[in-house]
Amino acid sequence: MKRFVTFCTCSYLIIAVFWGSLAFATTDMVAEASKRSTNTQQVELGAYLARIGNCMGCHTAKGGQPFAGGRRLATSFGVFVTSNITPDKNTGIGLWSEEDFWQTLHHGKSRDGRLLYPVFPYTEYTKVTRQDANAIFAYLQSLPPISQSNPASDIAFPYNSQILLALWRTLFFKEGVYEPDFSKSETWNRGAYLAQGLGHCNACHTTRNVLGASQDDTLTGGEIGGMNWYAPSLSSRLEAGLSDWPIDEIVALLKTGVTERSMTLGPMGAVVRQSLQYLSEKDAHAMAIYLKSLSDNDSKISSGVNFSVMTGSLRRYLDFGGQLYEKHCQTCHGTDGKGAPGIYPALAGNRSVTMKSPLNTIRTVLHGGYPPTTQGNPKPYGMPPFQQILRNEEVALIVSYIRNTWGNRASLVTAVDVERSQGGTH
Amino acid sequence: MFRVFVFFLCFIACVANVNGGTTAVIVPDTMAERVRACTICHTGEDKIERDAYYPRLAGKSQGYLFNQLRHFRDGRRIYPPMAILLENMSDEYLQEFAQYFSLLQLPYPKPEQFSMQAEEIALAERLIYSGIPEKDIPSCSACHGDNLMGIEPAIPGLLGLSRAYITAQLNGWRGGSLMRSRTPECMYEVAKQLSDDDVNAIAKLLARQPVEGKSRPLSELSPELRKRCGHQILLSEEMK
């Protein structure tokens, strides 16, 4: 009997130990698995946020390895070369901690304390929350490490001075996570958070002073130094303000790059293809709500019409442009300038054509282009380049014509304007 | 210029026909319509205008065209006007462009006429059909097919190209300029060993020949050369 009890106790003990260890193992495995799944969740979130921040767009050389850097960004202050942000220990950010990464995204300082140039739009990314920053970091750390050293940036004197940069930062860099405006809806705040932070719309759509600092954050539009493109005001109905657009159409523009009345060009096409098309429906909606709410700010914008009456001689001058239009453009954009909505943009009533700066219109006539390929518009139609066919005077005539026909009214353009629009990159 | 004009006239005539003279723009849902931004330069044959030559694309192998389009977009082959057009395009769409042009059948232009010295002909023929084994230059025909019509999927034919275009391409590789991709590139390895005289003779002889026959299958390429050009072949296979 005793033996039996002993046996029982023993086996009980054994069983208990067995169960115990099993239970232990299971909780451990559960904990491990849930850690892993929060980790995968965090990585997935980070992947999404990195898209919205378009980190890959800048941190990948043309035709190069994703996130390994080496892309050259031409600016008015020199040529900047982006860094390798894959987790390679020697050439990337493999040795970085979450804290180091936060210091970069939020404070604009590298791991070694070096002040970073605002070409890296930390002036906007500073609004990103710590939690979102950590997710992006987790995602970057999950990428395959790529060993690639990139050449140093070639920054012009005197901008290459860290002291000057420190001064610039005290003057123009407002550090701080996005603060919600409680008088507005949660959706609006989400949209504002995305547009002002990760989406860094203000990195391009802003008026800059000579030191390259954004003048305010109301998206009033400006020329992008080094790129030779004009990013229109998002708060003026004379330019690209969206206050009178239906929300669905704004969502369509962000996610597909084209709508019945508008098509994204050049750098904005790249932003849509690389970044905005991946917005979730909910976030696209939120961003649209925010963009639509931007107050009309027409006061700072003038139409820039530089003549008051359409005289007979002016009309005859424009007619030369009209003949060229008929020969080269009409088959796509139509005799009435109405185009084929969603395929060939209307030029009649198109703000992108009539806004004060003729830069984008001239560029488009010279170089042509395709709207971006996106999930919603995988096979776009294209606009041919005319640089190899038309002389600058002829381009000036055509552009003046389309800016002043079908009810359009804007300043005339000269061959000198056309000359000035050449060069620059995308 | 003239051809572009004719092209536009035809198109206007066509639109006018369909709509009986009304103004609405009718856009066919075809690749032919989508490549209009390309055909302003790339007409049926090689075309020379304002110091640039616009090579013919029709009938070239899809894999080769796809490789070139990616090279232009990604800055491995340099020609900015095309890079701007291709900038925001997915690989999938580039593949459709490549397919469209590869299936396009247009009559080839008549061969160009040049007078050539007997020695020049001999030099060109030796390079094209025998190569220079001691310098490790395989014959052009070993890679471009015994009939010089190319080997699928990634090696283009050498007939039906203009002398100006052939010369410029070979010099692009030779000059070591970044006009065309360099490494790892079997064609670069060949071209950099050619002299000016070699290039001139080859370009003339090739441009004089009429286009005949079909491109060859990959099995015609020796394993050794397949290995040398493995990079190109792999690239063009990637999408399938």
Q: Which two tokens stand for residue A156?
A: 């012009």
CA distance A104 to B143: 52
CA distance A244 to A236: 10
pLDDT at A202 over 80: yes
Please identify, among B45, B68, B102, the residue that sits at the C-terminal boundary of a domain.
B102
Give domain limits for chain A: 37-177, 312-420
The verdict on B62 and B157 lying in the same domain is no
Q: Note down the domain range covering B12.
A: 2-102
pLDDT at A233 over 60: yes
Confirm whether B107 is domain-assigned. no
Secondary structure (DSSP) of A371-410: PPPBTTBSS---B---TTTS-HHHHHHHHHHHTTSTT---
Q: Which range is least confidently modeled, A63-67, A250-254, B56-60?
A: B56-60
The verdict on B97 and B131 lying in the same domain is no
The verdict on B166 and B78 lying in the same domain is no
CATH code of the domain made up of A312-420: 1.10.760.10
Q: What is the pLDDT of residue B240?
A: 53
The verdict on B36 and B65 lying in the same domain is yes
Predicted confidence band at B155 (pLDDT cuts at 50, 70, 90)? very high
Q: Decide if the complex's ipTM is over 0.95.
A: no
Q: What is the pLDDT of residue A45?
A: 97
Predicted confidence band at A34 (pLDDT cuts at 50, 70, 90)? low
Whether A278 and chain B come into contact, CB under 8 Å, resolves to no
Whether A34 and chain B come into contact, CB under 8 Å, resolves to no
State the average pLDDT for chain B: 84
End-to-end CA distance of chain B: 38
Q: Kindly calculate the radius of gyration of chain B based on its CA atoms and give it in whole angstroms.
A: 19
Please tell me the total count of domains within chain B: 2
Give the minimum alpha-carbon distance from B126 to chain A in angstroms, rounded to a whole number.
38
Select the more confidently predicted residue: B152 or A8: B152
pLDDT at B82 over 80: yes
Q: What is the pLDDT of residues A354-377, one digit of tens each?
A: 999 999 999 999 999 999 999 999
A338 contacts B24? CB cut-off 8 A: yes
pLDDT at B73 over 60: yes
The verdict on B20 and B79 lying in the same domain is yes
Query: A384 to each of A344, A390, B35, B191, B212, how far by Cα in Å?
Result: 12, 12, 9, 33, 33
Q: What is the pLDDT of residues B164-191, one digit of tens each?
A: 889 989 998 887 666 676 666 889 889 9
The verdict on B190 and B143 lying in the same domain is yes
β strands within chain B, DSSP E:
47-49, 52-54
Select the more confidently predicted residue: A213 or B152: B152
- Nearest by CB to B96, which of A332, A369, A379? A379
pTM of the full predicted structure? 0.89
- Nearest by CB to B93, which of A333, A379, A389? A379
Please identify, among B102, B132, B163, the residue that sits at the C-terminal boundary of a domain.
B102
The most confident of A341-345, B150-154, B217-221, by mean pLDDT: A341-345
pLDDT at B14 over 60: no
The verdict on B178 and B141 lying in the same domain is yes
Say what percent of chain A tops pLDDT 90.
73
Whether A47 and chain B come into contact, CB under 8 Å, resolves to no
Counted across chains A and B, CB pairs separated by less than 8 A come out at 106
Confirm whether B213 is domain-assigned. yes
A371 contacts B81? CB cut-off 8 A: no
Confirm whether B212 is domain-assigned. yes
Q: What is the pLDDT of residues A144-155, one digit of tens each?
A: 999 999 999 999
| Residue A391, CA atoms < 13 Å, CB-side half-sphere | 2
Write down the residue that tokens 């000016």 correspond to. B196
Confirm whether B65 is domain-assigned. yes
B25 contacts A333? CB cut-off 8 A: yes
Q: Which range is least confidently modeled, A7-11, A213-217, A267-271, A380-384?
A: A7-11
The verdict on B98 and B31 lying in the same domain is yes
The most confident of A21-35, A318-332, B154-168, by mean pLDDT: A318-332
Query: What CATH code is carried by the domain that includes residue B161?
Result: 1.10.760.10
